[in-house]
């Protein structure tokens, strides 16, 4: 047990953090509220390992919430950043590095002709919605319950009980006025979508979703769902926005839109695009993007937007992603870990299921079928917390909530994956016995 009075304990730093930072964290999920225990305080990272201030190492499947597709401190990213930062870290004017990354994004993501960089996913979705409203001259936006689009006001809504029912805000400080233009319906619900399109379609500026939902645990779209969204939005003149902040450059270089071959009007990117630095982006057809200031009337700006250090990191990350066989190799790493778990669950008849897309996965405990946020809520959070703690004790760090995805990176070694697989199998056996007692 580490001494809480010593700066080599997580508890020491968490206590100190709590004295000056609300809840001791700068983003709520870091507080481990849904799994309990002392949050990790990171000292450094290397490859697939995160080291805490107690000197313990953890095989990291959170990967800074998906940003670190090449693992921690990849030598190529470190070198690119060191070179860039020594030449000045910010200028407030355009630099070649953002032009290079813009070209890379446009070449990689099929629906993007022009792109604008911002500093966070929240800014990307907020700006994309403003652009959609400016472009269509309409106010309403439609989202899906359980999908996360950052913390801008219009997205902080609780779904109403009926389809036509306007949602209420899910955070205090967000006035009813600000969310009255947001409609929220269940994900993967064809009828609910058709109904809301029939009643409100012509007033909707944009339908926004994660084409692969990854903030309610990982939940794939039902077959035909994205097709239906694409055809209906086109028919009523609403824009379709894919929030690919997680799926972008994760399920393939072209994201979910390339995987499913469905082209949105606007795409939001984040996480991987910044190579571990604060950068995000939104983009789409030039015809739409050119409505942004200074060309058009939709205002959008940022002091550190397109920051050269973040751009250098992002470019290096995407270039490594573009190497032949990159995604195949990442996916086979993930299969090695995840397929045996799913096989075991099925053969042992365990009340659980594994969802997976590329190198993303979620192990749902307490349910065998999950396609909506209501299904996720029927899972067993106590079982998840116990699994999480068991893994953590063995030096494996899973994303700290049943509502999150886990991320395999290119840095995960065969040994780490094998150890994780064995630990998961043992945990599932123990759980099964515990339940039988
Ligand atoms: C992380 C995330 C965001 C928000 O990005 P931030 O950089 O945290 O503001 C938006 N959408 C999705 C799908 C995300 O996963």
pLDDT single digits (tens) 318-365: 999 999 999 999 999 999 999 999 999 999 999 999 999 999 999 999
Could you tell me if 19 and 118 lie in one domain? no
Identify the active-site residue in 243, 327, 375, 397: 243
d(CA 69, CA 275): 8
Ligand 1: lining residues by beta carbon, under 6 Å: 120-122, 125, 148-150, 210, 215, 243, 245-246, 270, 280
Of 286, 321, 356, which one is at a domain's C-terminal end?
A: 321
Could you tell me if 183 and 101 lie in one domain? yes
State the distance from the centre of ligand 1 to the C-alpha of 45, rounded, in angstroms.
22
- Residue ID of nearest Cα to ligand 1 atom 13: 245
Domain count for the chain, please give it. 2
Record the tokens describing residue 222, joined without a space: 């039902």
Angle of the 190-200 helix axis to the 225-236 helix axis, nearest 10: 0
**Sign of the Cα pseudo-torsion (245, 275, 37, 398, in order):** positive
State the distance from the centre of ligand 1 to the C-alpha of 406, rounded, in angstroms.
15
- Give residue 6's pLDDT: 84
- Gyration radius of the chain over CA positions: 22
State the distance from the centre of ligand 1 to the C-alpha of 278, rounded, in angstroms.
11
d(CA 417, CA 179): 43
Give the confidence band of 160 by pLDDT, cuts at 50, 70, 90: low
Give the confidence band of 435 by pLDDT, cuts at 50, 70, 90: low
In a domain, 66, yes or no: no
pLDDT tens sequence across 176-210: 888 999 999 999 999 999 999 999 999 999 999 99
The domain of 307 spans 75-321
d(CA 97, CA 309): 8
Rounded average pLDDT over 213-223: 97
Residues, the chain: 437
Could you tell me if 38 and 140 lie in one domain? no
d(CA 50, CA 64): 10
- Give residue 437's pLDDT: 55
Could you tell me if 98 and 43 lie in one domain? no
In a domain, 70, yes or no: no
Rounded average pLDDT over 127-143: 98
Atom index in ligand 1 nearest the CA of residue 120 equals 7
In a domain, 426, yes or no: yes
Record the tokens describing residue 149, joined without a space: 């689009």
Could you tell me if 122 and 194 lie in one domain? yes
- Nearest C-alpha neighbor of 370 from the set 385, 387, 356, 388: 356
Could you tell me if 103 and 237 lie in one domain? yes
State the distance from the centre of ligand 1 to the C-alpha of 215, rounded, in angstroms.
9
Give the confidence band of 216 by pLDDT, cuts at 50, 70, 90: very high
* Strand ranges, E, within 155-310: 157-158, 168-169, 182-186, 204-209, 239-243, 266-269, 280-284
- Give residue 433's pLDDT: 76
Rounded average pLDDT over 51-73: 98
- Residue ID of nearest Cα to ligand 1 atom 6: 121
Of 297, 321, 345, which one is at a domain's C-terminal end?
A: 321
Q: Does residue 163 register a pLDDT over 60?
A: no
CB atoms within 10 A of CB 6: 11
The strand pairing partners of 47, in sequence order, are 72
In a domain, 1, yes or no: no
Rounded average pLDDT over 219-227: 98
Average pLDDT, the chain: 95
Q: Does residue 165 register a pLDDT over 60?
A: no
pLDDT tens sequence across 8-22: 899 999 999 999 999
Atom index in ligand 1 nearest the CA of residue 27 equals 8
Give the confidence band of 436 by pLDDT, cuts at 50, 70, 90: low
In a domain, 353, yes or no: yes
Phi then psi dihedrals of residue 46, to 5 deg: -155, 115
Q: Is 148 a catalytic residue?
A: yes
Give the confidence band of 236 by pLDDT, cuts at 50, 70, 90: very high
Identify the active-site residue in 148, 232, 327, 397: 148
**Sign of the Cα pseudo-torsion (248, 252, 255, 256, in order):** negative
């Amino acid at each position: 047990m580490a001494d809480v009075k010593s700066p080599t304990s997580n508890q020491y730093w968490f206590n100190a953090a709590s004295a000056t930072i609300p809840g001791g964290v700068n983003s709520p999920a870091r507080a481990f509220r849904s799994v309990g225990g002392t949050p990790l305080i990171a000292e450094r990272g290397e490859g697939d390992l995160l080291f805490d201030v107690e000197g313990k190492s953890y095989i990291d499947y959170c990967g800074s919430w998906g940003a670190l597709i090449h693992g921690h401190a990849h030598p190529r990213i470190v070198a690119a950043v060191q070179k860039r930062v020594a030449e000045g870290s910010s200028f407030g004017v355009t630099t070649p590095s953002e032009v290079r990354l813009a070209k890379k994004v446009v070449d990689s993501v099929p629906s993007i002709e022009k792109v604008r960089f911002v500093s966070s996913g929240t800014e990307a979705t907020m700006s994309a919605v403003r652009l959609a409203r400016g472009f269509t001259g309409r106010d309403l936006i439609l989202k899906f319950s359980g999908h996360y689009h950052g913390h801008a006001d219009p997205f902080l809504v609780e779904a109403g009980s009926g389809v036509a029912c306007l949602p209420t805000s899910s955070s205090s400080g967000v006035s009813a006025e600000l969310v009255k233009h947001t409609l929220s319906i269940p994900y993967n619900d064809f009828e609910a979508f058709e109904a809301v399109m029939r009643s409100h379609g012509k007033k909707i500026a944009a339908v926004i979703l994660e084409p692969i939902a990854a903030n309610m645990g990982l939940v794939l779209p039902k077959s035909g769902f994205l097709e239906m969204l694409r055809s209906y939005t086109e028919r009523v003149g609403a824009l379709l926005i894919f929030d690919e902040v997680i799926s972008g450059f994760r399920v393939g270089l072209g994201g979910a839109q390339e995987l499913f071959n469905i082209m949105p009007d606007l795409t939001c990117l984040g996480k991987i695009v910044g190579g571990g630095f604060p950068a995000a982006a939104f983009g789409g057809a030039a015809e739409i993007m050119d409505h942004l200031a200074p060309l058009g009337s939709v205002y959008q700006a940022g002091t550190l937007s397109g920051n050269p250090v973040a751009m250098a990191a992002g470019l290096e990350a995407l270039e490594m992603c573009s190497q032949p066989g990159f995604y195949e190799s990442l996916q086979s790493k993930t299969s090695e870990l995840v397929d045996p778990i799913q096989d075991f669950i099925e053969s042992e008849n365990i009340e659980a299921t594994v969802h997976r897309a590329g190198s993303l996965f979620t192990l749902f405990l307490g349910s065998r079928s999950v396609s909506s946020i209501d299904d996720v809520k029927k899972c067993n959070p106590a079982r998840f917390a116990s699994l999480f703690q068991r893994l953590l004790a063995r030096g494996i760090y899973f994303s700290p909530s049943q509502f999150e995805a886990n991320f395999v990176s290119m840095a995960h070694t065969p040994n780490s994956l094998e150890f994780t697989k064995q630990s998961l199998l043992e945990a599932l056996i123990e759980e099964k016995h515990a339940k039988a007692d």
